[in-house]
Amino acid sequence: MWASFSATFNRQFMTMRRAYPWSFFIGHILDGVYIIIFAYLSYHFIFQGQLNKNFTSYTGTSNYLSYAMIGGMLNSFSVSLLMIVSRMLITEMREGTLEALLLTPSSRQGYFLGAAVQGLMRSCIEMIAIFSIGLFFGLKMVSVNALILIPVLSVFCFAIFSQALVLGSFMLVFRDTYITQNTLFVIMTLVSGVSFPPQFLPGWLHTLSCIMPLSYGLNLFRGVVIEEHWSGSMTQDLFLLFGLGVLYFIAGSIFIKRTEKTVVEKYFG
């Protein structure tokens, strides 16, 4: 597993250095920045800082700007990481290298992990860019406690990685990236509490947020950096996020294994 991890990491790194995927990079940053500007313009210019009472009671903060900006930031980060990992196999298929890869007796988990860790570099650069722009428009973090933040982010990355495995196998089944990924992304952005608390949504839509790692990630991240306290519900969220990650990981590994076979059949049969 280590060999295929490091090999894939290196390969992806070299590919990135040679042909940086600028349009995805800028696209992800802009998606985050638009959420930031939307929050800024709505808050200051349209609503003159007047919030709905329910907002404070749902979120426990009256800092709408930071709430929405962190939403945009983490949303872009998740989209970026999901795309990088989930598109791996289908890209191999399109470029004609999938068979050569499947011929080798290498670990698929190591392969995906290598891609994910390399992709994480890119996603982090994007997140930092969005973050800096957010600061300019009034993003305020009350506390940045690395001791809590690092484990939270690690669990979050694991859960997103696992979700990407499931997404990736759907892509292989549908032989499509564009529709599959964006359908997930628009739903994810709607239900996970990116720019408004999901409690505003009708009940059935609200329940959808339970299967999105992003919604737990946002609760935790906002809790840590805006609200500056660790509550019991956050511990629960952290465990739920981890559990969700494990579920997605198992489901994703099984799906990928299965679809790999059928893809070779369909594609070349």
Partner 1 sequence: MNLLSIIWAEVRKSHRHNFNNHLVYFSLFVWPAILFINAYYAFKPFNLQAGSPLARFVPFDKLGLFLITGYLAYIFFWSLVQSAWQMAYERQQGTLELLLLTPVPRIWLMFGRAAANLIEAVWLFSAFSLLIILFMGGVHVAEWWLVPVAIVLLVLSAVIWGGFLNIIFLFSRDAGVLYTLFEAPMEFFSGVRMPVLAFPIWAKSIAFLFPLTYVLTILRGVVMEGKTFRDLSGSLILLLGVLTVLVIASLFLVRVAERHAKETGNLTLF
Partner 2 sequence: MLEARHLKKYYTVKEKTGWFSREKQLIRAVDEIDLSIDKGEIVGLLGVNGAGKTTTIKMLSTLLTPTSGTITVDGTNVVEQPNRIKQQVNMIAGGERMLYWRLTARENLMYFGKLYGLHGQTLTERCRQLIRLVGLDEAADHPVERYSKGMKQRLQIARGLINDPDYLFLDEPTLGLDAPVARQLRKTVKDLAKVRNKGILLTSHYLEEVQELCDRVYIIEKGHLLLHGTPERIIQTVVNIFHLQAVVSGQSSDSIWLKQELEKRNVQVSVKDSDEGKLLHMTASFDMTASFIALVAKQGLILKKLEATKPNLEDAIIKLAEESHAS
What residues line the site for partner 1 (CB under 8 A)? 22-24, 26-27, 30-31, 34, 37-38, 41-43, 45-48, 50-52, 54-55, 64, 67-68, 174, 176, 178-179, 182-183, 186-187, 189-190, 195-197, 200-201
Q: From the list partner 1, partner 2, none, which binds 34 (C-beta under 5 to 8 Å, kind-based)? A: partner 1
CB of 11 to partner 2, least distance (A): 5
CB-based contact 152:221 (threshold 8 Å): yes
Would you give the binding string for partner 2 spanning residues 104-143, x where CB under 8 A is met?
Answer: xxx-------------------------------------
Exactly one of 149, 190, 251, 264 binds partner 2 (CB under 8 A); that residue is 264
Q: How far apart are CA 116 and CA 114, in angstroms?
A: 5
Q: From the list partner 2, partner 1, none, which binds 102 (C-beta under 5 to 8 Å, kind-based)? A: partner 2
Residues 6+ apart with CB under 8 A from 211: 244
* End-to-end CA separation in angstroms for the chain: 30
Site for partner 2 in 80-99 (CB under 8 A): 95-97, 99
CB-based contact 77:192 (threshold 8 Å): no
Q: Which is nearer to partner 1, 4 or 189 (CB)?
A: 189
Q: From the list partner 1, partner 2, none, which binds 4 (C-beta under 5 to 8 Å, kind-based)? A: partner 2
CB-based contact 72:195 (threshold 8 Å): yes
Query: Binding of partner 2 at residue 6 (CB under 8 A)?
Result: yes
Q: What is the DSSP string of 77-106?
A: HHHHHHHHHHHHHHHHHHHT-HHHHHHS--
DSSP H or E run through 128: helix 108-136
CB-based contact 212:247 (threshold 8 Å): no
* CA within 13 Å, CB half, 169: 21
Residue 247: other Cβ atoms inside 10 A = 15
Q: How far apart are CA 100 and CA 14, in angstroms?
A: 19
Q: Which is nearer to partner 2, 4 or 163 (CB)?
A: 4
CB of 182 to partner 2, least distance (A): 24
Q: From the list partner 1, partner 2, none, which binds 103 (C-beta under 5 to 8 Å, kind-based)? A: partner 2
Q: How far apart are CA 142 and CA 159, in angstroms?
A: 26
Q: From the list partner 1, partner 2, none, which binds 189 (C-beta under 5 to 8 Å, kind-based)? A: partner 1
Total residues at the site for partner 2 (CB under 8 A)? 27
Residues that bind partner 2 in the complex, under the rule CB under 8 A: 3-4, 6-8, 10-11, 14-15, 18-19, 95-97, 99-106, 261, 264-265, 268-269
